[in-house]
A and B are shown apart, each in its own frame.
Chain A
Amino acid sequence: MANVMQLMPTLEGDEMTYVQGLIKELSDNQAQQFANIYTGRRKDPQTILLTSLIGFVGVAGVQRFLLDQIGMGLLYLFTAGLCFVGTIIDLVNHKKLTFEYNTKVAQQVVVMVKASN
């Protein structure tokens, strides 16, 4: 059984357990391939936190662009992060936002890895 703690030891909390659930059916080779691709494509919650903080001093909404939410990104950009309210929400919610993105990426990568082997 593939073990997330050995392949991707930097993952934490919800993300780690979610990935463990996804890769437990994969062979060792597939799991290694998953780890290589996924660690390159996932977003770090800290990146999202820092880009949210930029909303207070400069451009708001960078975090939403990074998470592939172009519409929300444009809305934040033109309204100073919904008058800072949206920026504060994203600061509080940055872990969940990143997790939402990373689960989508993980699902795509699993399908890819299964198809290529």
Chain B
Amino acid sequence: MQFAGGGVGSENSYDIGTSRIVVTKRTRTAFSAIGFEPIIWLGALLWLGFSEPQSHSDFTLCPLRNIGISGCPGCGLGRSVSYALHGHFSESFQMHFAGMPAVLILLFRVFSLFKNATRNRGGYNHFTIKQRNPYG
């Protein structure tokens, strides 16, 4: 089979035996190549950067705390990152030792995801292949 085809969204079909193979070609954008991962990391960092770490109340998004389990090794990480982003480094370390490394690691991860996306700029061709039964 050959992946020939024209512009965006073109369709080629081939008859193989009793079934027909339909190849749809579309060009992927840089956004669909990086996905939602950097959006989540950046969103979390921005949220923690703009919220006040002192104002944390009993309300929590932590899935473990909400079902009544405490003592998770990640507990305090959110407050730690929040303190680190506000420049309070000793409080950050007290809350969780991984808060400051977490900021750097997540920013590096987001950076490398965007670097990948720009390397594939202009998109790459994406094909979907479906088998259709002409008698179906």
Cβ B105 vs Cβ A72 within 8 A = yes
Distance in angstroms from A111 CB to nearest chain B CB is 14
Say which residue of A24, A79, A93 sits within 8 Å of B74 (CB atoms): A79
The stretch from B33-41, B50-58, B85-93 touching chain A is B33-41
Contacts of B72 in A (CB 8 A): 80, 83-84
B interface with A by C-beta (< 8 Å): 1-3, 35-37, 40, 62-64, 72-75, 77, 96-98, 101-102, 105-106, 108-109, 113, 116, 124-127
Cβ B1 vs Cβ A3 within 8 A = yes
State A14–B96 Cα separation when bound (angstroms).
39
Contacts of B105 in A (CB 8 A): 71-72, 74-75
Question: Are A14 and B126 also in contact (CB < 8 A) when A3-B1, A79-B98 are?
Answer: yes
Cβ B124 vs Cβ A18 within 8 A = yes
State A1–B98 Cα separation when bound (angstroms).
51
Contacts of A85 in B (CB 8 A): 63
Contacts of A81 in B (CB 8 A): 74
The 8 residue pairs across chains A and B that have the minimum distance between CB atoms: A79-B74, A83-B74, A71-B105, A17-B127, A80-B74, A80-B73, A96-B35, A75-B105
Kindly count the residue-residue contacts between A and B in the assembled complex, taking CB atoms under 8 Å apart: 68
State A115–B116 Cα separation when bound (angstroms).
23
Chain A contact residues: over half helix, strand or loop, or mixed?
helix
State A82–B103 Cα separation when bound (angstroms).
12
Distance in angstroms from A97 CB to nearest chain B CB is 8
Cβ A71 vs Cβ B108 within 8 A = yes
Cβ A89 vs Cβ B77 within 8 A = no
Answer whether residue A5 sits at the interface, using C-beta atoms and an 8 A cutoff: yes
Cβ B109 vs Cβ A17 within 8 A = no
